A and B are shown apart, each in its own frame.
Chain A
């Protein structure tokens, strides 16, 4: 049970880092915090692998480290470099940080209530972590809806993706590596495509603010 505690604590750290992803002002800082979150995710996968004795999870951890902690931040930093100094300008979010904190807390609570009803044998020890992974989906959605910076919206997508990754690891630790590669690589391609689109939008509109993109409407 104590080793499950480590998994749950890492789950707690995961939601704290994702809160910082939502709160951080500039895309540069968001990238660094996202990278930190991915490292926490890797640690969680390793801890889960040690606890359940599942070999696949170590492979997952390795691929997650390469794709999430290195590749995605690298792609985003490259996109930021392409955009130039104007990427450093902070685009205001549509809600205040306090509301964001309380919103995330409420989402976490609702997810806890939802997870409480699940009676799966694999989910018994890791219910808090499962609630956190489910909450990540909503935190990502919150990030996409409330942040006006299109680069931060990409990170919202990444948060949702991280959540599904952890859910899969918690509920099906014995799942073959192919499934996991499917999840990790499609995220990479999605981030590449979104980064390219963001760079092109900036080239045309000269802004990263989603509110300035109204003219795209027909």
Chain B
């Protein structure tokens, strides 16, 4: 019972805090560019405004175009229910399987690209296809890294993997470090930040597919994309950096877990945003080379697992 409560509370908390996280990100980005930038709460204002507007779809678009925003947001909320954030183990264990999580991330990506093509705008279509390409390049290396970690931890459940690594009783420490590094790189690509993408800009790749969206639909997709960023980082934290999260379900442990989780999240987003602002956009042709490097590191980790260290 208490697990269900934790799952609901963490999901609601996440939904409430997501615009703040993205707002802080935009604010910091502006500061690093020595611009004044939008206020921290700007994303709340944006969402409130968008929800009041009329929802318009292009004339030739089908149900896919209408379905995608609620599907994207809904999938992210399902992911948020099962992801261990405050706790070491997942509050809803059957939602915390890595294979399920990979598929739940792939499902909205598919509809994202499909709705972009469906919208009828040729520009959005190109953006959608690019989004699929990123997925095709990143997911194999991500999966390999996760499977090696799962082999080492003896489970594909995020919570159990985190518990094994968090108790420092893992049999292959070098493997876990290498694979964790590979997974961190893959997660970074998945975040949709520079040098691979620019989630903030309307005309850019990640939001290019959204050029035909408006009103509540656009608000839902914007919300879902910010949620996805936090969830991917939480995924990494839950498996490879679970230290400090609540092992027992007491109020004190949960409070400590919440504080530690927020600190880790802030730290990772800070590192990402420093890195993001220090690089320029990479050409899409070169993306494959870099994801292959991630794949190579994951293979390296796999060999270490065979070696048994």
Q: Is the CB of B303 within 8 A of A128?
A: no
- Contact residues in A for B25 (Cβ distance below 8 Å): none
B308 at the interface (CB under 8 A from A): yes
Q: Give residues 274-298 of B contacting A (CB, 8 Å).
A: 289, 292-293, 295-297
Task: Please name all residues of chain B whose beta carbon is closer than 8 Å to the beta carbon of A98 when the two chains form the complex.
Answer: 289, 292-293, 295-296
A101 within 8 A of B: yes
By beta carbon, the residue of chain B nearest A99 is B296
B300 interface contact, C-beta 8 A: yes
Residues of chain A within 8 A (CB-CB) of B293 are 97-98, 101
Residue A143, interface by CB 8 Å: no
Q: How far does the Cβ of B213 sit from chain A's closest Cβ, in whole Å?
A: 37
Contacts of B105 in A (CB 8 A): none
What is the minimal beta-carbon distance from B265 to any residue of chain A, in angstroms? 28
Instruction: Give the contacting residue for B309; candidates A19, A104, A128; CB below 8 A.
Output: A128
CB atoms of B303 and A101 under 8 A apart: no
**B307 contacts partner chain A, Cβ-Cβ < 8 Å:** yes
Most chain B CB within a 10 A radius of its CB, from A97, A101, A106, A131? A101
A13 near B174 (CB under 8 angstroms)?
Answer: yes
User: B307: which A residues are within 8 A, CB to CB?
Assistant: 8, 12, 108, 112, 128, 131-132
Cβ of A14 to closest chain B Cβ, rounded Å = 10
B174 lies within 8 A of A9 (CB): yes
Contact in complex: A109, B306 (CB < 8 Å):
yes
Complex Cα spacing A13 to B295, Å: 19
Contact with A along B170-183 (1 / 0, CB 8 A): 00011000100000
Q: Which residues of B contact A106 (CB under 8 A)?
A: 303
Q: Is the CB of A101 within 8 A of B297?
A: yes
Q: Does B20 contact A (CB under 8 A)?
A: no
Q: Roughly how many angstroms separate A148 CA and B233 CA in the complex, as a whole number?
A: 40
Say which residue of A8, A16, A101 sits within 8 Å of B299 (CB atoms): A101
Contact check, B174 vs A105: say whether CB atoms are below 8 A apart: no
Complex: how many Å from CA A157 to CA B87?
50
The proximity string for A residues 1-37 relative to B, scoring 1 for CB distances below 8 Å and 0 otherwise, is: 0000100110111001001000000000000000000
Q: What is B's interface to A at a CB cutoff of 8 Å? A: 173-174, 178, 289, 292-293, 295-297, 299-300, 302-304, 306-309
Q: A residues near B, CB below 8 A?
A: 5, 8-9, 11-13, 16, 19, 96-98, 101-102, 104-106, 108-109, 112, 127-128, 131-132
**Further 20 A-B residue pairs, CB within 8 A, beyond A13-B174, A101-B300, A108-B307:** A8-B307, A8-B309, A11-B309, A12-B174, A12-B309, A96-B289, A97-B296, A98-B289, A98-B296, A101-B293, A101-B299, A102-B296, A102-B299, A105-B296, A105-B299, A105-B300, A106-B303, A108-B300, A109-B303, A112-B307
